[in-house]
Amino acid sequence: MLRARHLIALAVLAFGLLVARGAQAHGVLRPDQNLWTAWNLTPEVTLGTLLVAGLYMTGLWRRQYKTDRAHPWRHFSFFIGLAAIFLALQSPIDAIAERIFLVHQVQHLLLRMIGPLALFLAAPQALLIAGTPAWAQRRIVAPILTNGTVRNLFGMLTHPALVTALFIGTLYFWQIPRFHNQALLNDAMHYLMHVSMLIPGLLFFWRIFDSRPAPKGTRYGVRIMMLWVMILSNIVIGSYLAFKQVVLYSAYAELGRIWDISAQADELFGGAFIWIPSSMMGVVTVLIVVHMWGNQETKDESRRTTRLLRQGNGQNNLSITAADLYRQTARRNRVMALGYASFVIVVFTTAITIGIFSQIMGS
């Protein structure tokens, strides 16, 4: 009964605990401080992270590894995602990000892409629910899951078009110099920046890695289109920031830029980071979705084949014929995946080449 709405519980846990008000307090670097000692361990974020990890481990223990032993990589992925969000908010990355535009983009990549991507690649919803105490399921989880307003709002926010627009729009909004500078100089706006990076990231990658095929889940072709739009948006904003000739973000100088790097170089490297590593994360995600699509097509074809064979043939020929058709379907899907991968790489390489030539011609 809860399976279709597990994400709501996860969203409440992730949003309420990991981006709680403790994330509003940012680390402050003293002039003589070692960068790697600037940890900003706030109780809300630290305890929230431990609570989510504890729920996951409890759920895993209660299920006694029944269906999870075959996929240990899922557990690794979950904790990588949790660690990425924790490090983005609590480690020296947070303090350094206020002084270096490049590191700020690293922080945003952890917060809006790597963390959510790794979390939902692990499909942790069932284990988190299983790890939640019975009283909390009755008094907290169940009322949320059955609330019509929450379900309608969640359905609206996770519509593929809207969630993609939110995911991209927040990135673009916070690159506007006026708002970017204000966020660095104002704790409340900086907190809002972090929340608005994390929440759309979680919603976006839930849609991308939803294990349900259409019609309950998003069609795989739509998922790939969502990722293409995201990749192209990274290329556009990243290449612009890398190749522009003016300094946009004055707040880093006001706070005291570190590492003896010029403002122009800092913003160039930051733009290149949005452009290339962030886009490459999108390319990797496309390949994962193509793999998921191929597996789903193989399962569907195998079920159809088995049903037809059972209707028309004897059981003696069933296993051999079904196995042969399964291998043929799997081989066809691998070819399809290779084609998609090649297309992604060609387009991505072309975009980088065009950007480099544009820079050369404009210099």
pLDDT digits (tens, 9 = 90+) for 14-28: 444 445 444 455 555
Over the chain, what is the mean pLDDT?
80
pLDDT at 11 over 60: no
> pLDDT tens digits, residue range 145-183?
777 787 788 788 889 999 999 999 999 999 999 999 999
Higher pLDDT, 107 or 305: 107
- Whether residue 105 contacts residue 273, with contact meaning beta carbons closer than 8 Å, is answered with yes
pLDDT for position 332:
61
Q: Is the pLDDT of residue 361 over 60?
A: no
- Report how far residue 158's alpha carbon sits from residue 163's, in angstroms, rounded to the nearest whole number: 5
- pTM for the full predicted model: 0.80
**Residue 326's pLDDT band (boundaries 50, 70, 90)?**
low
What is the pLDDT confidence band of residue 322, given thresholds at 50, 70 and 90? low
pLDDT in tens, 63-108: 765 555 557 888 999 999 999 999 999 999 998 999 999 999 999 9
pLDDT score for 129? 85
Least confident of 31-45, 121-135, 245-259, 314-328: 314-328
Q: Residue holding tokens 């296993």?
A: 319
Average confidence (pLDDT) over 99-124: 94
| pLDDT at res. 100 | 94
Cβ atoms of 16 and 49 closer than 8 Å = no
Sign of the CA dihedral running 134, 139, 141, 145: positive
d(CA 150, CA 140): 13
Per-residue pLDDT averaged across 229-247, rounded? 90
pLDDT the model gives residue 82: 95
Percent of the chain surpassing pLDDT 90: 39
Separation of alpha carbons 40 and 72, rounded Å: 31
With cut-offs at 50, 70 and 90, classify the pLDDT of residue 359: low
- pLDDT band with cut points at 50, 70 and 90 for residue 337: low
Which has more pLDDT, 106 or 126? 106
Helix axes 263-275, 101-109, angle to 10 degrees: 20
Rg of the Cα trace of the chain? 23
pLDDT of residue 173: 96
Ramachandran assignment for 259, one of left (phi > 0), alpha (psi -120 to 50 degrees), beta (any other): left
**How many CA atoms are closer than 13 Å to the CA of 183, on its beta-carbon side?**
21
pLDDT in the model for residue 21: 46
Calpha distance 181→174 (Å, rounded): 9
Between these two residues, 119 and 148, which has the higher pLDDT value? 119
The answer, yes or no, to whether residue 6 has pLDDT greater than 70, is no
Tokens representing 94 are 């947070």
In the prediction, which pLDDT does 260 show?
Answer: 86
Look at residue 248 and tell me whether its pLDDT is greater than 80. Answer: yes
- How large is the average pLDDT for residues 127-147? 82
Name the residue with higher pLDDT: 309 or 86: 86
Q: Mean pLDDT throughout 279-307? A: 80
Over 70: is that where the pLDDT of 57 sits?
Answer: yes
Q: Over range 121-139, report the average pLDDT.
A: 86
Provide the sign of the torsion angle of the four alpha carbons 82, 158, 211, 113, taken in this order: negative
For residues 300 and 186, the model is more confident at 186
Would you state the pLDDT for residue 16?
47
CB 91, CB 49: distance < 8 Å: no
Predicted confidence band of residue 358 (pLDDT cuts 50, 70, 90): low
Place 13 in a pLDDT band, splitting at 50, 70 and 90: very low
Report the 3 state secondary structure along the chain: CCHHHHHHHHHHHHHHHHCCHHHHCCCCCCCCCCHHHCCCCCHHHHHHHHHHHHHHHHHHHHCCCCCCCCCHHHHHHHHHHHHHHHHHHHCHHHHHHCCCHHHHHHHHHHHHHHHHHHHHHCCCHHHHHHHCCHHHHHHHHHHHHCCHHHHHHHHHHCCHHHHHHHHHHHHHHCCCHHHHHHHHHCHHHHHHHHHHHHHHHHHHHHHHHCCCCCCCCCCHHHHHHHHHHHHHHHHHHHHHHHHCCCCCCCHHHHHCCCCCCCHHHHHHHHHHHHHCHHHHHHHHHHHHHHHHHHHHHHHHHHHHHHHHHHHHCCHHHHHHHHHHHHHHHHHHHHHHHHHHHHHHHHHHHHHHHHHHHHHHHHC
pLDDT value, residue 360: 53
pLDDT beyond 90 at 243: no
Helices 148-157 & 160-173 angle (0-180, nearest 10): 70
